[in-house]
Amino acid sequence: MTITCLAALGLSALLTAQAAPAASARGAGQRKARNGEVSRVAFEQLSKAADRARDENDNEDAIRLYRRALSLRPAWQEGLWYLGILEYEKERFLDARDVLRRFVTYDPSAGPGWAVLGMSEFKTREYSRAFDHLRRAMALGLGGRKEMAQSVFYFVAALLTRFEQYDESMNMLLAMVKSGQKTDLLVEPLGLAALRMPLLPAETPPDRHEMIRMAGQGALAVEAGRQGEAERLFSGIVAAYPNEPGGHFLYGVFLLDLRPADGIREIKRELEISPFHVAARLRLVEEYLKEERFDEGLMLAEEAVKLEPKDGPAHMMLGEVLIAKGDLAGGIRELETSEKQAPQTVRTRWDLLRAYTTTGRKDDAQREKGEIERLNAPTGEQEP
């Protein structure tokens, strides 16, 4: 993205006053003082020249001058910031990254600094770091920079899919749709998340490009309440790609709300293609709970836990089935396991609150209530 506009917005809010010259008590001799004065004058000349070159869009010259000024005053935050974004705009992402790492050392609360750093790291394919730093930018806020916020959200959502956090990615992408963002760019990431393919849009296999687009467009249609269009797209996927993993699950989940029996049939078909699909099992368990088919639900929930013993949602669903079958102690045990593995999941805490209340464990119930309130409190994280 272009961030000249960001720079033009002014950094007064972002940057505090220029860093004071590094304090140094040593060597207070006259010669040193004279050298210091020469250096100060040189820095001021260079920094002004750099700013002027940037204002005149002579960016290569500006980069050179910022670098020289920073060699005299390495902690000059404004210089680090402008140098970082100029390098980013020149698509020299390694250089941008290194400069911005220094910048955030001096100003760790600068959301935009973390944002451009994270985007640089995305470009250099340091995805884990990029993810951490972009999330940090979201938490700190971007000072109303809408274009930057959209980019940050896009990158984070794409990375969530690559890190196999598909539901979180979908939620984020749909929140972006709701906020009024143009959907063209979101179709592919939505499709990848919906089909549970841990790839970035740039990594999409050409022979499944159409399938991924159809899945993304279908997700957008569902979000807009255009059920007919969504069904046409999802049924089109399973017709065109009948043996490809992901399609039947997506269609099945969609159908569960419309025609549950058809939805169950599609998800079962997915399990024939993808026999180790944990999410498909859990979605079926949820439906069976609704239909009070507890034995079928229990079997699938136990399989899910066996396949992924460290999966919080699998333990949560097993806990819910056990409680539904009247095994309160077993259910609580599974829910507590789930809570340990995924402490941020509010649904598990509601389940536990109810179970503790039923069994008269008032203190435990109270603790869960407090946790639910805490988790539901606004985070202050930037909106898309």
Report the nearest approach of other proteins to the CB of residue 320 (Å): 25
Binds other proteins by CB under 8 A, chosen from 51, 126, 296, 336: 126
Binds other proteins by CB under 8 A, chosen from 1, 75, 175, 185: 75
CB 152 within 8 A of CB 142: yes
Helix H, strand E, coil C: the string for 115-151 is: HHHHHHHHHCCCHHHHHHHHHHHHHHCCCCCHHHHHH
Report the candidate in 317, 321, 354 with the shortest Cα–Cα distance to residue 337.
Answer: 317
Sign of the CA dihedral 205, 252, 181, 376? negative
Binds other proteins by CB under 8 A, chosen from 164, 272, 291, 383: 164
Binds other proteins by CB under 8 A, chosen from 51, 132, 296, 302: 132
Report if residue 350 touches other proteins, rule: CB under 8 A: no
Going from the C-alpha of 141 to that of each of 98, 136, 169, 176, the distances in angstroms are 22, 8, 19, 16
Output 199 or 328, the one with its CB closest to other proteins. 199
In order, the DSSP letters of 45-95 are HHHHHHHHHHHTT-HHHHHHHHHHHHHH-TT-HHHHHHHHHHHHHTT-HHH
Report if residue 197 touches other proteins, rule: CB under 8 A: yes
Output 98 or 302, the one with its CB closest to other proteins. 98
Report if residue 133 touches other proteins, rule: CB under 8 A: yes
Sign of the CA dihedral 68, 73, 74, 80? negative
Binds other proteins by CB under 8 A, chosen from 9, 49, 199, 324: 199
- E strand or H helix that includes residue 33: helix 30-55
Output 338 or 384, the one with its CB closest to other proteins. 338
Binds other proteins by CB under 8 A, chosen from 73, 145, 162, 283: 162
Report if residue 184 touches other proteins, rule: CB under 8 A: no
Output 199 or 324, the one with its CB closest to other proteins. 199
Q: Which positions lie near other proteins, rule CB under 8 A?
A: 22, 24-26, 75, 98, 101-102, 104-106, 124-126, 128-129, 132-133, 136, 162-164, 197-200, 202-203, 205-207, 243, 245, 274-276, 310
